[in-house]
Chains A and B, each alone.
Chain A
């Protein structure tokens, strides 16, 4: 499977899971409403039966009402202990109610011509109500209960087809109406879920969202801030403020959007599993690469540096075409950060808190000093703390040579500043 197809498949899978989760939530709401209604229905029905039921049927009806109330009450207990069973429980209860009516209708519920007239009407209404309130099951699971209920209605009317045939038509129309409503609600839920997911995927990595859905966890819970190992990449355009004063904002917007689009494509190529999330403000880009390994594995660090190299290459090609950005520096740091949904309550987003983003940004900021010390050149900068066998920098400088500030080594987390320059420029220099 090609990369784009694999990504599309992952995204489709995530979307399916998300819709499923939202429909289950809607189903839960409907199931609770249904249980509430069945309790009211049972209590009122106890009084109603004394008025309309045949005396010999009264005990059946009373028993049925009490059982209905008890089972509806039990729903709340089941919902608390085994929530995944609650939708099936309420559907089962609907069958019980409909089966009981079917039996009574078949057997002759009440006496007299007036009663004969009212029975199909009531039966029709009950069927309609249950289906209007809705089955809490998801759309694909609704066809079986629908068929069984329809069968029950046919069976109920089969005792006197001549008399009940008219009402069979009404019941059928009601079922169609109810199913249409079900489909509408299901369509709404799916559409709302798709929109929500599309927005959420903009603020959290696909992998995090997918994991949350696979574990049936709420995204808010899954994305709550927690300590995670990560590698942070910070990048900034050089001379952006100057550019923003001279270039038209529309051109700048076009260039930034195209640049970040290219970054995204590059990210998708290098990290197809989506174990990252990114953020940007104006010219500043921050990308966090997540890992389960402690401390961040050398493999991920090497992957990030490979990605950074591609980013520099991409920038060269991009700048040749659009004239922007004039220069970029990339800083990389790794460590433990508190990552999750945070920020203003009215506008939360996934952010990382800790020394890692600070160090990555500082490292990127060192690019300015390195330009003075080593020439105007784009660089990938990291400290000796990140050094591993797989990572071979093209240059190294003692921090003290670059910046006199005594606090910087502490912030950087190492004594040496390691950097890489694009191969093309190295070849030119050689």
Chain B
């Protein structure tokens, strides 16, 4: 009983991988990885195919039935022409790509071998056993290395099984072969599962590492080598929205609260922020960086209907963060948020060995200054969590209610901010 539990535990630990639990970009990356490794496998499968047919020229004179020899010879010749052509087919990104080509070649091989068996059966009832064992091994190889995922290997296996069944149709039933075939299928399924899990795990691990470098929507589209991310997301001027968030009493908390307890409070806060970011900013088109009590988020525009949508999403995130954090930890006194937007030089940059996504220019600095304006508003209107935006952002949010205006004059001046008027939304403490 204990052993069964142990087996289940080991099997679960090794073979369970729930794609549904992953975020959309993670899932996209994992599925794209299966395709990526499948394409890589194609190159290997084509090379092996060439070797196999070349080797068969020398083997067939010994093993083939006389009646099938000429058919086999020309079959190998045709295959040795067709298979190398696979290297000229585009690896991926087209409807007719290399994996599809490999699958077709695999299907032709399986069907032709079935035909050869059927032909051999006409001349000899004995040879069928030998031929079937070879074809079984062939089937396993073809099915195992099908570079597709999902239902395709099953469909491919069924097709091969049917071609085999047709080949031996009318001959006496052989339970031995049925069992051998069952064994082969078990092995193939297990192998497929192993390779699939290996690929998914590696992909997930890769994603978790790469996400430290670039936003999820870029990582999700960059399966392959590391330089691809840096190449895909090289620093360029892009329109984006910057969100700057800071706790107001963090210094005091850090002095009075034991680090481990503070780390737990922070972890809880980050969990809320993470959940809200994934809910408010679809497609993972954001990148978040942290520095002590400050959180800096860049929201990008892909897949958004309009520029205003990015602003609207950013504000939605900020408002929900201020609302939902209230129910979590009473350790945080207030949070100030600043939002600004516009053209930013953004991309993966930094020193060799410590690259990451960041944005440079006036806009990120403005977001930080707007966040700092929370201090001034606090002096004027008392404690509250506040979201501060400038006039251009406010105009983008046309129709959103609840914002109040703050006029800046010589007495109310914020360093490096020339604005005459700011807008803020506040969540008063209960």
Residues on A lying within 8 angstroms of B by beta carbon are 26, 28-30, 32-33, 36-37, 40-41, 44-45, 47-48, 51-52, 73, 76-77, 79-80, 113-114, 117-118, 120-122, 124-125, 128-129, 132-133, 165-166, 169-170, 173-174, 176-177, 180-181, 184-185, 188-189, 192, 195-196, 198-203, 225, 227, 240-242, 244-245, 249-250, 252-253, 256-257, 260-261, 263-264, 278-282, 284, 286, 336-338, 342-349, 351, 353-355, 357-358, 361-362, 407, 410-411
Specify which chain A residues have a CB less than 8 angstroms from the CB of B44 in the assembled complex. Answer: 180-181, 184
Cβ of B165 within 8 Å of any chain A Cβ, yes or no, is no
C-alpha gap A52/B415 in the complex (Å): 90
Please state if B254 and A354 are interface contacts (CB–CB under 8 Å). yes
Nearest CB in chain B: distance from A194 CB, A: 9
B301 shortest CB reach to chain A, Å: 18
**Least CB separation from B179: chain A residue:** A48
Binds A, one of B76-84, B205-213, B377-385, B403-411: B205-213
Q: How long is the Cα–Cα vector from A44 to B355 in the complex, in angstroms? A: 54
In the assembled complex, B289 has its CB within 8 A of some CB on chain A:
yes
Given contacts A47-B179, A260-B350, A280-B350, contact A129 B55 (CB under 8 A): no
Classify the interface of chain A: helix, strand, loop or mixed.
Answer: helix
* A44-B179, A195-B209 known, 6 other contacts, Cβ within 8 Å: A29-B14, A133-B194, A180-B48, A344-B277, A345-B274, A353-B259
Q: Which residues of A contact B205 (CB under 8 A)?
A: 192, 196
On whether the beta carbons of B259 and A133 are closer than 8 Å, the reply is no
Q: Which residues of B contact A358 (CB under 8 A)?
A: 250-251, 254-255, 292-293
Q: Which residues of A contact B294 (CB under 8 A)?
A: 281
Give which listed residue, B55, B267, B361, contacts A249 with CB less than 8 A.
B361
Cα distance A353–B260 when bound, in Å?
8
**Docked pose: A166 CA to B65 CA in angstroms:** 13
Closest Cβ of chain B: how far from A4's Cβ, in Å? 14
CB nearest neighbor in A for B207: A346
In residues 48-87 of chain B, which contact A (Cβ within 8 Å)?
48, 51-52, 55, 58-59, 62-63
The smallest C-beta distance from A218 to any residue of chain B, in angstroms, reads 11
- Of B137, B186, B209, B259, the most chain A CB neighbours within 10 A belong to B259
Bound-state CA distance A410–B255 (Å) is: 8
Q: Which residues of B contact A349 (CB under 8 A)?
A: 212, 290
Cα–Cα, bound, A165→B7 (Å): 41
Quick check: is B360 within 8 A (CB to CB) of the other chain?
A: yes
Is A202 a contact of B355 with CB atoms below 8 Å?
Answer: yes
The contact of A37 among B132, B186, B254, B266, by CB within 8 Å, is B186
Query: A117 vs B266: C-alpha distance in the bound complex, in angstroms?
Result: 70
Q: How far is the CA of A250 from the CA of B235 in the complex (A)?
A: 8
Contact B278 A36 (CB under 8 A): no
Asked if A344 and B191 sit within 8 Å, CB to CB, the answer is no
Q: Of the candidates A165, A242, A347, which one forms a contact with B211 in the assembled complex, judged by CB atoms under 8 Å apart?
A: A347
Q: Please provide the 10 A-B residue pairs with the shortest distance between their CB atoms, ordered closest to farther.
A: A121-B133, A249-B345, A354-B259, A199-B209, A260-B351, A338-B259, A249-B361, A33-B194, A344-B274, A117-B130
- CB-defined interface of B228-267 with A at 8 Å, one 1/0 digit per residue? 0000000101000000000000111011000110110011
Q: Are A195's CB and B206's CB within 8 A?
A: yes
**Would you give the shortest CB distance from B142 to chain A, in whole angstroms?**
12
Q: Are A264 and B352 in contact (CB under 8 A)?
A: yes
Minimum Cβ distance to chain A for residue B377 (Å): 20
CB pairs A–B below 8 angstroms (16 shown)? A29-B198, A33-B194, A37-B190, A118-B130, A120-B130, A185-B198, A201-B353, A242-B416, A252-B361, A260-B350, A278-B354, A282-B360, A284-B291, A357-B292, A358-B254, A407-B252
In the bound complex, what is the Cα–Cα distance between A113 and B353 (angstroms)?
67
State the CA gap A118–B259 with chains docked (Å).
70
CA distance A190 to B151 in the complex (A): 29
B102 to chain A, nearest CB (A): 15
| Contact string against A for B residues 33-47, beta-carbon threshold 8 Å, 1 for contact and 0 otherwise | 000010011001000
Whole-angstrom distance between the Cβ of B19 and the nearest chain A Cβ? 16
Q: Is B288 an interface residue (CB 8 A)?
A: yes
When the two chains form the complex, which single residue of A32, A37, A343, A346 contacts B187, counting CB atoms closer than 8 Å? Answer: A37
Interface with A: B103-111, B312-320, B362-370, B390-398, which one? B362-370
User: Does A133 contact B216, Cβ atoms closer than 8 Å?
Assistant: no
Knowing A196-B205, A249-B361, A282-B358 are in contact, say whether A29-B3 is a contact too (CB < 8 A): no
Residues in B with CB closer than 8 Å to A174 are 137
Q: Which residues of B contact A165 (CB under 8 A)?
A: 62
Are B270's CB and A121's CB within 8 A? no
Q: How large, as a class, is the contact surface on chain B? A: 35 or more
B263 in contact with A346 (CB, 8 Å) = no
Indicate if the CB atoms of A344 and B288 lie closer than 8 Å: yes
> In the assembly, what is the distance between CA of A189 and CA of B206, in Å?
12
A44 contacts B133, C-beta separation under 8 Å: no
Q: Is B399 an interface residue (CB 8 A)?
A: no
Does B226 contact A256, Cβ atoms closer than 8 Å?
no
Which residues of B from 264 to 290 have beta carbons under 8 Å from A? 266-267, 270-271, 273-274, 277-278, 284, 287-290
Task: Select one of B37, B209, B288, B415 contacting A188, CB under 8 A.
Answer: B37
Residues of B within 8 A of A203 (CB): 212
> How far apart are the CA atoms of A362 and B293 in the complex, in Å?
13
Q: Does B175 contact A (CB under 8 A)?
A: yes
CA distance A180 to B277 in the complex (A): 45
Q: Is the CB of B52 within 8 A of A245?
A: no
Chain B nearest CB from A349 CB (Å) reads: 6
Q: What CA separation (Å) do A192 and B216 show in the bound complex?
A: 19
B166 within 8 A of A: no
Q: Are the C-beta atoms of B350 and A343 separated by less than 8 Å?
A: no
Residues of B within 8 A of A362 (CB): 251
Residue pair A361, B292 in contact (C-beta under 8 Å): yes
Interface check B182, CB cutoff 8 A: yes
Q: B262: which of A48, A129, A201, A354 is its contact (CB, 8 Å)?
A: A354
- Which of B176, B292, B355, B369 lies in contact with A52, CB distance below 8 A? B176
For B213, give the chain A residue with the smallest CB separation.
A199
On whether A51 and B176 interact (CB within 8 A), knowing A29-B198, A40-B186, A342-B267, the answer reads yes
B6 interfacial by beta-carbon distance below 8 Å? yes
Measured CA separation A264–B127 after assembly (Å):
71
List A contacts of B255 (CB < 8 A).
355, 358, 410-411
A36 touches B190 (CB 8 A): yes
Contact A77 B3 (CB under 8 A): yes
Q: Is the CB of A124 within 8 A of B133?
A: yes
Chain B residues numbered 158-211 whose CB sits less than 8 Å from any CB in chain A = 175-176, 179-180, 182-184, 186-187, 190-191, 193-194, 197-198, 202, 205-206, 208-211
- A128 and B129 in contact (CB under 8 A), knowing A29-B194, A249-B345? no
B358–A281 CB distance below 8 A? yes
Q: Is B329 in contact with chain A by the CB < 8 A criterion?
A: no
A394 to B166 alpha-carbon distance, docked (Å): 93
Residue pair A337, B6 in contact (C-beta under 8 Å) = no
Q: A161 to nearest B CB, angstroms?
A: 13
Please give the distance in Å from A185's CB to the nearest CB on chain B: 8
- Partner of B354 from the list A181, A244, A280 (CB cut-off 8 Å) is A280
Q: Which residues of B contact A169 (CB under 8 A)?
A: 55, 58-59, 62
Is B305 at the interface (CB under 8 A from chain A)? no
- Does B92 interact with chain A (Cβ within 8 Å)? no
Q: Is the CB of B360 within 8 A of A249?
A: yes
**Assembly CA distance A348 to B134 (angstroms):** 51
